[in-house]
Amino acid sequence: MEELKRAVAKEALKFIEDDMIVGLGTGSTTAYFIEYLGKLIMEGELEDVYGVPTSYQARLLAIENGVPVVGLDEVDAIDIAVDGADEVDPNLNLIKGRGAALTMEKIIEYRAGTFLVLVDESKLVERLGQRVPVPIEVIPAAWRAIAEEIEVFNATAELRMASKKDGPVVTDNGNFILDAKFHRIEDPLDLEIELNNIPGVVENGIFADIADIVLVGTREGVKRLE
Ligand code: 5RP
């Protein structure tokens, strides 16, 4: 699996050119991309490339690997964003957020000229919600009320815990994450909008209709979906 992640991360480098502002995703696949991108920058193969990190994790990795970072509020536009995903359906709708960075990821990826997604073949599903629950970032005080409200959607939601001892996972924005299992997700875009209408929901991990290209690492090589 690590080999497949490395292969898609290498392939993603072909999309990066001099003078680009690059959204840097979060997670183990994007970590390889950040490492390889840093190498090209340090070797002088790429010039004037800046990264806009989607999390503290991505920011630290970028700094460690020699990718200069800038904030979203310092750039006029993002040329390309590169990130992983937890599920990809045949219409390239995604579930993201196992790394709890979904809000900043969506803010940056929505604004990117191209949103490039990197996955291995295990992430491809016929219907969203088959493998993983939908992460929902919520204002901490509202977590229980929202978890109950989500039952209206024929779903159950659990508060994501770091561990029993350490308590709930806290996002970079100081919020909690609910993981919601839906009986069946018929219309990802509709559910994405509906969930964000609940007061106290900051953002949810359905990324409907925003991926431009998906690179899939398979045993037979990297495949491109668009
Ligand atoms: C983090 C994410 C990640 O991109 C997603 O969880 C995939 O991660 P990995 O590449 O480690 O499988 O959405 O919030």
Enter the ipTM: 0.97
pLDDT at residue 143, rounded to an integer: 98
68 Cα: distance to centroid of ligand 1 (angstroms): 22
Ligand 1 pocket check for 101: Cβ under 6 Å: yes
User: Is residue 47 annotated as part of the catalytic site, yes or no?
Assistant: no
Identify residue 138 by its one-letter amino acid code: V
Bridge-partner residues for 225, per DSSP?
A: 214
pLDDT tens by residue, 108-127: 999 999 999 999 999 999 99
Structure tokens at 159: 């508060």
Q: Is 103 in the pocket of ligand 1 (CB under 6 A)?
A: no
What local confidence, expressed as pLDDT, does residue 201 receive? 98
Residue 72: what are its φ and ψ, rounded to 5°? -60, -30
pTM over 0.90: yes
- Report residues of the chain scoring pLDDT below 70: none
Residue 1 confidence (pLDDT): 85
How high is the pLDDT of residue 17? 97
Instruction: Give the end-to-end CA distance of the chain in Å, rounded to a whole number.
Output: 23
The ligand 1 atom nearest the CA atom of 25: 4
How many other CB atoms sit within 10 Å of the CB of residue 162? 11
Instruction: Compute the distance between CA of residue 84 and CA of residue 8 in angstroms, rounded to an integer.
Output: 10
Q: Hey, what are 54's tokens?
A: 């989607």
C-alpha angle 12/13/14, rounded to 5°?
90
Any ligand 1 atom below 6 A from CB of 87: no
Mean confidence (pLDDT) of the chain: 97
State the DSSP code for 69. Answer: B
- Tell me how far apart the alpha carbons of residues 177 and 174 are, in angstroms, rounded to a whole number: 10
Q: What are 80's two structure tokens? A: 């390309």
Backbone angles phi, psi at 31, to 5 degrees: -60, -40
What pLDDT, on the 0 to 100 scale, is given for residue 29? Answer: 97
